[in-house]
Chains A and B, each alone.
Chain A
Amino acid sequence: MKRNEKILKSMKHVVLILGAVIMLVPFAWMILTAFKTNSEAMQINPFVIFPKEWRTEAFVNVWNKMNFIRLYANTLIMIVIRILCAVLTATMAGYAFGRLKFRGRDFWFALILFQMMVPGQIFIIPQYLMVGKVGMLNTMFSLVFPGLVTAFGTFLMRQAYMGLPKDLEDAATLDGCNIGQTFLYVMMPLTKSSMVALGIFTALFGYKELMWPLIANTEQSTMPLSAALAKIQGQYGSNFPELMAASMIACIPMIVLYLFFQKQFIEGIATSGGKL
């Protein structure tokens, strides 16, 4: 019995390690290729797995071709503004939907649910025309625009507020807090973990988004990383070390953040069950 258990346990690890290796191979290959020369990358006889010399040429070349500092800055500015706006508005609305009773509440909440059910691409043409009409394409405004408010985040925050006990509110009312004060000083601090989850979700969503920046921010000066990668591939399509170096440059900041805040990332996704 004991021996069987041991075998079972090591079988488990074998399966898990095998899976983990498969998950990591693309990352490993990205890194290995980025440090090769182009001829090493395209050599098949013999096939080169590790670069003979770890060269940084590919990084230098793509760094000179694209203004990555600008791309990082654009992405960061977009993410920060979106987080501020989306978390603030969704927290307020989530509190109203979750804790207050007022006429029209169910109607407005139905609109939130309706937005969550339709495919996001249906908003894109009118959003593009709107931004175009006010002459704001290729600006920070256009980059941020679709993410200013969030129906999904409102839903998430409502769930968080609904889970809080009623006594807290009553106690605050007895102490003379009005509704705004109750929200700000008593209830909101208790939903911090959901706010963090929504913040992480918003950041990941903005960082991964491709179609919107592809159409609304076509100039390098206002492009985020994702659209820049598409552009690099379109222009320098077959220099694989350079493409992999560009991917690495685009991925590393988020991976580092993830490694530091792993718990928040994973729990954020688990609690939000987000639609990423």
Chain B
Amino acid sequence: MNNKKRKKYINRKRKEFAWGCLFILPTMTGLIILNIIPIFQTIYQSFFKTGAFGRGNIFVGLTNYKRLILDGAVWQALLNTIKYAIAEVPISIAIALVIAVLLNEKMQGRSIYRAIYFLPMVVAPAAVSMVWKWLFNTEFGLLNHLLESIGLKSVAWISNPAIAIYSIAAVGIWSVIGYNMVLFLAGLQEIPRDYYEAAQIDGANSVQQFFNITVPLISPTMFFVVVTRIIASMQIFDSIFMMIDTSSPALKKTQSLVYLFYRYAFVENNKGYGSAIVTLLLGVIMIITIFQMVIQKKWVHYN
């Protein structure tokens, strides 16, 4: 009897193994070919000088990395990327949180507001960037027309090297507010209503409630949004590629690491140096991720 049970158990284990392997086989095969091997190939490639289609690979050791360390454009690009992230992430999160709190109750037009704020998420960044480039146009753009009509001077939004990266960040904020808002709305639903009722009885006003109940209790969602947004903003490419011409005086002060990667790897066909740049990006993102995991304990309240 015992032996029979055991046999049955082993049989079941075996079946589970077979089905498990069968079910993950397509995904894992694809993942290994499409992603896992390429990670190592890219790192490997960064030690080589390359010709077209990977032919004529010459091992050059750390030459690409030496060049990278001495390349001012790379460090400027890293700085541009960080500037973008510092402008985009906190502002888009703050605005989205306020809107989510305002929308987190039964009110007229709630779903219409939600639909409008979310709208930029469903249009292609390539299209959106073209529209914003036109809005930002120094001579004929709508923004400068509005400024001039209230008596202010026009601004070279995307050709002035000092401010162009922030104009691009503004587009990023506009694009991502709805997305963050939806995530916050989902997080706000989890906060029990009695907390607010208790606070009201104790005489807390809505601002106090916001900072003492909403903010701490939404911190798990907040953490998730902050992590994903920082990582996504470190990979900014589309809007820079579409809005900043290669002849723009602001290019040097706006091109991101991914933009440089694209240019070296696919325009100048130097896949080795491109690989070194994207490996640097990998390192930066890994450091940010680890750092966030460490400080997570300090400010995220899990129930």
* Residues of chain A at the chain B interface (Cβ within 8 Å): 8-9, 12-13, 15-16, 19-20, 22-27, 29-30, 33, 41-44, 47, 88-90, 92-93, 95-97, 100-105, 108, 111-112, 114-115, 117-130, 132-133, 145-146, 148-151, 154, 178-180, 183, 204, 207-208, 210-211, 214-215, 225-227, 229-230, 233, 237, 240, 243-244, 246-247, 250-251, 254-255, 257-259, 262, 265-266, 269-271, 273, 275-276
Contact = CB atoms under 8 A, between A and B. Distances in A.
B21 A23 contact: no
A227 to B, nearest CB: 8
B26 A149 contact: yes
Contact of B116 (A20, A115, A270): A20
Contact of B26 (A89, A251, A270): A89
A125 to B, nearest CB: 5
Contacts of B289: 117
Given A42-B140, A44-B139, A127 B38 contact: yes
A146 B26 contact: no
Q: Which 4 residue pairs spanning A and B have beta carbons closest together?
A: A149-B30, A126-B38, A102-B20, A96-B23
Given A27-B119, A129-B53, A207-B124, 14 more contacts: A42-B139, A102-B13, A102-B19, A104-B21, A105-B20, A130-B33, A179-B15, A208-B238, A211-B262, A251-B124, A265-B122, A269-B121, A271-B186, A275-B228
B182 interface: yes
B10 interface: no
A237 B275 CA distance: 31
B152 to A, nearest CB: 15
Contact of B238 (A111, A150, A210): A210
B179 A117 contact: no
Contact of A119 (B53, B109, B235): B235
Interface stretch (B70-78, B195-203, B278-286): B278-286
B183 A23 contact: no
